[in-house]
Amino acid sequence: MKRLGGVAAAALCALALAESASPAIVIGRGIAGVALGMSQASVRARLGRPVRVVHAKNEFGSYTELRYRGYVVDFQGNAIVTAVVTTMAREKTPAGVGVGSSWSQVRAKVPGVRCQGVAALGDCHVGDFLPGKTVTDFFVRQGKVSRVVVGIVLD
């Protein structure tokens, strides 16, 4: 019986390692298992208790922001995820692009990306900046990606 328990534990560890090795930035969908359209309860179930919760209003109305170490999750209208931001270097696309990647790596490894600015200061994005469309944006500062946003364009 102990042997079976050891095998089960090894299998669970293998599953956990496989899950952590999977891409965490999904272009046009989400970051760290948080997907656009998720509820606040689902985000909390995925990421745990936020470090800070912000309730405020902007030109689009009320919103809630759940802040975690290395992540910000926005709920414009308070109900569903409208944007996910990360500054965590461990979060990568399937091609290995994320915070810390160079401008040239983003251009070479992200299909359909369009870049603006220069390698030292600019951004590269997938998607169209049109209301209701989804955009994944890689912000580049000092030649490296400093944050990644997956969000729904509001205006």
Question: How confident is the model over 112-154, as pLDDT tens digits?
Answer: 999 999 989 999 999 999 999 999 999 999 999 999 999 999 9
Write the CATH number for 127. 3.40.33.10
Whether 130 maps to a domain, the answer reads: yes
Whether 104 maps to a domain, the answer reads: yes
Whether 9 maps to a domain, the answer reads: no
Domain count, the chain: 1
Question: How confident is the model over 98-108, as pLDDT tens digits?
Answer: 999 999 999 99
Query: What is the band of 2 on the pLDDT scale with cuts at 50, 70, 90?
Result: very low
Query: Is the separation of the CB atoms in 111 and 101 below 8 Å?
Result: no
Query: What is the band of 52 on the pLDDT scale with cuts at 50, 70, 90?
Result: very high
Give the domain range for residue 82.
22-152
Q: Rounded distance, CA 130 to CA 155, Å? A: 7
Residues whose CB falls within 8 Å of the CB of residue 154, separated by 6 or more in sequence, listed in order: 60, 76, 82, 131
Whether 4 maps to a domain, the answer reads: no
Whether 61 maps to a domain, the answer reads: yes
Residue range 24-28: mean pLDDT, rounded: 96
What pLDDT sits at residue 23?
58
Q: Rounded distance, CA 155 to CA 153, Å? A: 6
β-partners of residue 53 are 66
Query: Is the separation of the CB atoms in 43 and 31 below 8 Å?
Result: no
Residue range 69-74: mean pLDDT, rounded: 97
User: Is this prediction's pTM over 0.75?
Assistant: yes
Whether 6 maps to a domain, the answer reads: no
What pLDDT sits at residue 22?
56
Say if residue 20's pLDDT is above 90.
Answer: no
